[in-house]
Amino acid sequence: MINLKIDPEFQSQIPPLTDDEFKQLEENILKEGKLISPLIVWGNTLVDGHNRYEIVQEHPEISFSTMPLPFESREEVLAWICKNQLGRRNLTPEQKKFLIGKQYSVEHRKPGGNGNNQYTATTQEAVQEELCQIDTIPPTSAEASIRKQIAERNNVSESYVARSEKFMRGVEIMEQMMPGTKEKILSGQFKVRDADMHRLARADFPNRKQIVHEILHPEDRPAPQKRIYGINYSALEAAVRRIQQDVDFLMKYLPKVPDDAYVKVETTKILKQHKAYMAQFEEMLNDEKVA
């Protein structure tokens, strides 16, 4: 029998089967006497087919084959696993949200995504700390493109993809601090608020313990305080008008905008950065509404 390597991070992205589903799968395999579909591997590491591989290990008489796929990095493997699992029809809303968030996270952080360091199992915690620090930075054009592709593929909005990444981060932090909670959350057994997951994803390490405690024990949450908003709306409107006036002034002096392709491209890049920057405020307001 071929001995395949099990990667814990790869395996943890795959929603587990219920006892009844696993039993039914085992019965079907024993009836066929072999695995009809090959196990997907990357080198000697199992990528897809963990449940079937577990069954054939218990029944060595069952024959199976493998199909290697030419992945170039762990990020590619993780993205493929997420896309493959998102094709399942029996996902819970929480599982779908987690997988979309994971796919977006690894795709825009892999080489060729936005140029950041590789997202590996050994650096996962360090990457999460970095993500907490840059949470308010607008997405790059490459990140925005990836977000749009994932949104269209899964029939969701781009803001849903962005929120899903925060949800995924919150769930992974919960699992690190309280092993076993990830499966309960994603199966729907333990209900959590998106706002709490987003808050946990943004929190620095010293504050995580208190947030997790409040999630597990809602009765211990501090009583909500009446908010007194000291926002000067007139000043905010004036600031926005100044931005518009400055942009209008500069646009008058841009040379050959209709004809110069370089000017058009560079100007569009800058305007998209401003658009993404403003979108961050909308996401923050949406998070507050969810809470």
Q: Where are the domains of the chain?
A: 8-68, 121-291
Backbone angles phi, psi at 181, to 5 degrees: -75, -30
pTM above threshold 0.85? no
Sheet holding 66-68, edge to edge: 45-48, 39-42, 66-68
CA angle, corner 191, sides to 137 and 185, nearest 5?
75
Q: pLDDT tens across 89-127, in order?
A: 889 999 999 999 999 999 987 655 443 444 444 445 544
**Residue 263: pLDDT band with limits 50, 70, 90:** confident
Q: pLDDT tens across 1-23, in order?
A: 678 999 999 999 999 999 999 99
Instruction: Reduce the DSSP state of residue 215 to 3 states and report it.
Output: helix
Q: Which residues contact 177 (CB under 8 A, 6 or more apart)?
A: 208, 209, 212
